[in-house]
Structure 1
Amino acid sequence: MRHVFVAGAAVAPFGKHLGRGAADLGEQAVIDLLRSVNLPPGQVGAGFVGSVYGGSLVGQRVLQRAGISGPPVFTVENACASGASAVHLAWQAVASGAHDCAVAVGTENLSGFGGGALPLTTADAEIAQGVVMPATYAMRAQRYLYETGARVEDLCLVSVKNRRNGAKNPRAHFQAPVTLEQVLQSRPVADPLRLLHCCPNSDGAAAVLLCSPEFARELRTPLVRVRASVVRSGRFHTGFRDMTWPDITERTVRAAYEMSGLSPADLDLVELHDAFSIAELLHAEALGIAERGKAHRALADGEFDVDGRVAVSPSGGLLSRGHPVGATGVSQIGEAYWQLTGSAGDLQVPGATVALTHVTGGGIFGVDNGACSVHILTAED
């Protein structure tokens, strides 16, 4: 397997883009990406486009509009991990030698659904009984608070930190900080979660270029090495389910650490799947950057701040940056790329050389999540 590098990234800013479909947003991200690396569309070897609600052949529609026509193109649907799964497949294509460069894209327009929880398939025993993601995460939060002694205020601190970070991110859906009191007083959604404990449904797109060492030498752009790219699916069982332990995250990141030869202690920053504030605490523990049951203490002590032990969601995370589901995983790679090349501007984590991105999702009967992807990236001299 060859080394694989990220050679560029672009984002169509997240927010509400009424009247612009997934293909329109994806086109913008891909065109901006190709311009940023000065790469003619005809030199792209393959394209992988992640989207949940973009419709049939959205990959071809996105790439053809950007001038990429003829090479193999794949549309990837893997719930919230769709974009990250597209990156994983692009990494496989380059690492295996099948292609010297590949474009990975994530795109989504959720404005058409209006407000509230996203629609889930009813061809599922739990969803048919009324399960929605806010309720599932509320159950996880209740159990975590009960078992660890954490308080609702600890959940609020996640939102405060990430909205503070996102206030500096021009690509974020929400670009204003919030106070602890504002989070506590926001509208109830599913006890104990309130509105500001939840990420917004956003529109947006992101694109990254992955390439081989030989191809990378021809480009005049900063490079970041992909040290690990892993995707796992949930294990099916119908017995007891520990609501405070995302098994799929732990299994995926364990494989990523093994592949990269790195450990949690090596990480400078983490972009994780904070779709709800409780998710940051649960996933931080499963990723190994906090002891089990103690992530809320690490958060309160400032260990997850931009200048802390490990910066968690310095981009603002899903809570601030937004969550156009198919685009999220690719945008995380982009944020990590800018951090590791020292071009993150006001978001910059001082001296960042190792980053981890994590996304998981998909409510499905019998598993904790349908799919999870973890990438570990390192700066190159």
Structure 2
Amino acid sequence: MTNQTRVGEQPQVYPSVAGVGMTAFTKNDERSLLELLTVAADRALKDASTPSENIDSLHVGNAAAEAFNSRSGFGNALAAQIGITNADTKRIENTSASGASAFLDAVDAIRAGRSDAALVVGGEKMSDADTATSTEIISRITHDAEYAQGITLPSFAGLATDRYLREYEADREDLAQIAVKNHANAAQNPYAQFENEVTVEDVLESPIVAAPLRLFDCCPTSDGAAAAVITSGGDGVQVAACESAVGTHAVADRSDPLMIESVRQAGKSAYTAAKVTPGDLDVACIHDAFSILEWLETEELGLAERGEAWRLTTDGTTARNGNLPINPGGGLKARGHPLGATGVSQIVELVWQLRGDAPNNRAVDSADIGLAINVAGFGNNTVCTILQGDAL
């Protein structure tokens, strides 16, 4: 693994995910953020059969509690709430990739021998803020120059979508099929925010957000939390790789607006660390905050040639019963996107799929290797994780 080379020659330690748990993602959960984090943590600990006193480190992923909820210190508060003492406890912030970054921090703690049992919890309660405040929080993720010009993440997604549809053979109806697919998957997921299926017509008739993107092409704001227990070896789904890369911060400075270098580099590093190729993957959770990102990231990860990812959607390859299911839990688009929870919820979904026990009997067929990609901003930073069901 690449992390072993960073700290010198050490015996390889392959962490495993011993248990997972999450809350349902909703538009407006009546519980506080601390309560959501606690529920997810308790479920993961129970799933792992691990008492809280056995946890050596607690890693909390959260993007903006100070802005959304007017408080901080959730790592310490959560430790006290679930009875963790004498453990390393910290909060990790990396905008919309905060959850996966917290997972990476926990994996590194296991790899380095600082922890034998780590608890990762990611969460966000976005409904505590009004629409104007939420919009401002998310807008500040962009580069300062872009923010000053009023450019938003939906703006970038709309421009990228327009460029992709003009440059390649896909059309607007093809793009709408991503939302159709992910809503259909979410409708079978009891933890997803959206329970309704949609049609291509529904997508194309929804309000314009950033032309040609419409409302059903965009993820919602959400409340929710997800958690995972990671241990040093033993039974459970193995963490074959967890790697991060930063990209060019200002989108205008990128050589190609359809290329997301952080996704490409994080994926390349993860493949190398896990000793697998894109063709080895059985299932993937892709960061589809906007529908176009599912295609762009699929191509950056080598799962499709440049300008060809759309064909995997239209021919059924990425459907839940296809050869490479993508976002079988509904993705950010339909499962929901509580910023700090999303990266951990992707891990939860992969673990369920690799164990074959996804709730509602919705496991994909014969999945042994899964990939999750969690992106900060519009590709400013990316964390890529590869999990393997069989022992490494």
Normalised by the shorter chain, which TM-score bucket? over 0.9
Classify the secondary structure of the residue corresponding to 1:64.
helix
Equivalent of residue 286 in structure 1, options 289, 292, 300:
300
Amino acid at match of 1:47: L
Q: Contact 1:79–1:370 (CA<8 Å) still a contact in 2?
A: no
Classify the secondary structure of the residue corresponding to 1:13.
coil
**Corresponding position: 1:33 with 2:50:** no
- For residues 64-143 of structure 1, the aligned pairs below 5 Å read 64-115=80-131, 118-119=135-136, 120-121=139-140, 124-143=144-163
- Structure 1 CA distance, aligned partners of 2:254 and 2:219? 28
Aligned to 2:322: 308
Q: Contact 2:94–2:101 (CA<8 Å) still a contact in 1?
A: yes
Deviation at 1:115, TM superposition (A): 4.1
Q: CA separation of 1:335/1:45 partners in 2, compared to 1, >3 Å: closer, same or farther?
A: same
RMSD: 1.6
Per-residue CA distance 1:300-355 (angstroms, 9 max, x = gap): 01111122121110111111100001000000000000111110143211011010
Further displaced range: 239-248 or 124-133: 239-248
Classify the secondary structure of the residue corresponding to 1:157.
helix
Classify the secondary structure of the residue corresponding to 2:65.
coil
TM-score, structure 1 normalization: 0.93
**Corresponding position: 1:256 with 2:273:** no
- For residues 298-337 of structure 1, the aligned pairs below 5 Å read 298-337=312-351
Q: Contact 1:21–1:108 (CA<8 Å) still a contact in 2?
A: no
Equivalent of residue 295 in structure 1, options 277, 300, 309:
309
Amino acid at match of 1:131: I
**Corresponding position: 1:226 with 2:246:** no
List runs of 5+ in structure 2 lacking aligned partners: 1-11, 67-71
Q: Contact 1:311–1:349 (CA<8 Å) still a contact in 2?
A: yes
Aligned to 2:382: 372
Q: Contact 1:356–1:376 (CA<8 Å) still a contact in 2?
A: yes
**Corresponding position: 1:360 with 2:375:** yes
List runs of 5+ in structure 1 lacking aligned partners: 217-221, 364-368
Deviation at 1:41, TM superposition (A): 1.1
Q: CA separation of 1:115/1:186 partners in 2, compared to 1, >3 Å: closer, same or farther?
A: farther
Q: Contact 2:249–2:380 (CA<8 Å) still a contact in 1?
A: no
Q: Contact 1:79–1:371 (CA<8 Å) still a contact in 2?
A: no
Classify the secondary structure of the residue corresponding to 2:371.
strand
Aligned residues: 369
Amino acid at match of 1:38: S
Equivalent of residue 62 in structure 1, options 60, 65, 78:
78
Aligned to 2:187: 167
**Corresponding position: 1:200 with 2:214:** no
- Structure 1 CA distance, aligned partners of 2:121 and 2:254? 37
Q: Contact 2:354–2:389 (CA<8 Å) still a contact in 1?
A: yes
Identical aligned pairs, as a percentage?
Answer: 38
Classify the secondary structure of the residue corresponding to 1:6.
strand
Classify the secondary structure of the residue corresponding to 1:94.
helix
Q: Contact 2:56–2:86 (CA<8 Å) still a contact in 1?
A: no
Per-residue CA distance 1:76-115 (angstroms, 9 max, x = gap): 0001110000000100111111111101110100112344
- Structure 1 CA distance, aligned partners of 2:115 and 2:174? 46
